[in-house]
Amino acid sequence: MENTTLSNAAPSPRSLPGRGGRGFIYKIGIVAGEVSGDLLGAGLMRELKLRLPGVAFEGIGGAHMQAEGCRSLYDMERLSVIGLEGIARLPGVLLTRRRLAAHFLAKPPDLYIGVDAPDFNLAVEQRLRAAGIPTIHYVSPTVWAWRGYRLRKIHRAVDRMLTLFPFEARYYEERKVPVTFVGHPLADQIPDNYDARAIRERLTLPVDRTLVALLPGSRVGELRRHAALFVRTARWLHARRPGLHFVAPFASRATRVLFEQALARESAADLPLTLLLNHSRDALAACDVALLASGTATLEAALLKKPMVVTYKVSALSEVLIRLFAHVKMYALPNHLAGRRLVPEIMQDEATPEALGAAVEQYLEHPEQAESVQAALAEMHRALKQDADARAAEAVMEVLIERNLGDSARAE
């Protein structure tokens, strides 16, 4: 795999060909579009400052990137385009994108890094790269699964793709896109071992009962599609196994209220259930089995080595579009990472309380199956634990060195 073995050495600015002047300060453009990207960008910036003392960052970032020294030219919240409200904000996003590209064309950085936000960043990267500014895209779009035609734009826009997962790097390598697998920062943050009992005690969860975590999603739209389904599944399981206890963490008060409303509609107030605001990682660490909506929560569950059942429902129109443009037969991230159907994924019309409940119960009835899944997830954790921030910074340094070598050769 290209560029997957990176040195631990931190090059100094003087080691970059053509940039040896004592007073030279590198300027890096960097843009993130949401909180997860802001965290990734901040970690990368922190490592780059160790390698390029005095480096200057500007672009768009949230509180974490700004704390690391990024001069944010626009509010990061402007880039969020989700749902009907997002459609109304789209003209402003497009205007911000044009103005940002114009700014960097007028005052070129030594390098531009787009952190996720592919619809925004790839367009900027394409314009800057055409003008001779090297570009890096950090976090692969799901081009391997959906809308594969975007690969043409990636070829034009990106000098180096940084991926969080090894199967993504293999995808780009096969298609001749320069790529570096850096690992996932979450894998660096989540410990290999932890005390689930102590976490239960801290959350005032029962320590002597089998605990099932319910994570129906982090967005309001996901709760509207999933809340009743998850409540009915919990009722089905409780009727068969009265000794179970359930825990459901929520990312916001709005999503918690929607779940509480579903509990009332389904006459499920008697469920042995603890509701939490935030604490999703703790709830997953504390549980024995997780039932969750497909998304980033499945990665946390995998890194915590939790047997899980994954589900998701979308609108009829979205389902048609997925069937037209999707290139994969598996949707759950742990299954992509394993290269096989490691955990049950039960989607759309197949996602009934009986089907989901039976899949959860399978783990409880067959502990050897749960242990086999946990062993595979532990191996997955080891593969993703790569000191991602440092590896990403080393890849950035490689691109700077390659560009500066080229500039030096041309100057001669």
Indicate whether 215 belongs to any domain: yes
Q: Is 359 helix (H, G, I), strand (E, B) or coil?
A: helix
> Is 59 in contact with 96 (CB distance < 8 Å)?
no
Residue 353 vs residues 186, 232, 274, 347: alpha-carbon distances, Å:
31, 6, 20, 12
Look-up of token digits 């509180």? 63
Mean pLDDT of successive 10-residue stretches along the chain, which has 412 residues: 40 50 79 93 98 96 97 88 56 92 97 95 97 97 79 96 96 96 97 96 97 95 95 98 97 96 96 96 98 94 98 72 58 91 94 98 97 98 97 97 69 54
Indicate whether 359 belongs to any domain: yes
Same domain, 107 and 125: yes
Residue 137 has a pLDDT of 98
Indicate whether 43 belongs to any domain: yes
Same domain, 124 and 200: no
Residue 14 has a pLDDT of 41
Task: Look up the CATH number of the domain holding residue 309.
Answer: 3.40.50.2000
Same domain, 201 and 313: yes
Indicate whether 378 belongs to any domain: yes
Same domain, 253 and 348: yes
Residue 315 has a pLDDT of 67
Same domain, 216 and 348: yes
Alpha-carbon 130 to chain mean position: 28
Indicate whether 5 belongs to any domain: no
Residue 12 has a pLDDT of 47
Look-up of token digits 């480096």? 55
> Is 252 in contact with 379 (CB distance < 8 Å)?
no
- Number of compact structural domains in the chain: 2
Same domain, 131 and 266: no
The DSSP letter of residue 102 is H
Indicate whether 190 belongs to any domain: no
Q: What is the DSSP string of 195-229?
A: -HHHHHHHTT--SSS-EEEEE--SSHHHHHHHHHH
Residue 13 has a pLDDT of 47
* Structural domain span for residue 329: 196-384
Same domain, 164 and 281: no
Strands (E), 45-100: 56-60, 70-72
pTM (predicted TM-score): 0.86
Q: What is the CA radius of gyration of the chain?
A: 23
Same domain, 307 and 240: yes
**Cα–Cα nearest to 202, from 281, 268, 128:** 281
Indicate whether 68 belongs to any domain: yes
Same domain, 305 and 338: yes
Phi-psi region of 306 (alpha: psi -120 to 50; beta: other; left: phi over 0): beta
Same domain, 248 and 376: yes
Indicate whether 1 belongs to any domain: no
Same domain, 24 and 157: yes
Angle at 64 between CA 58 and CA 65, to 5 degrees: 15
Same domain, 380 and 404: no
Residue 225 has a pLDDT of 93
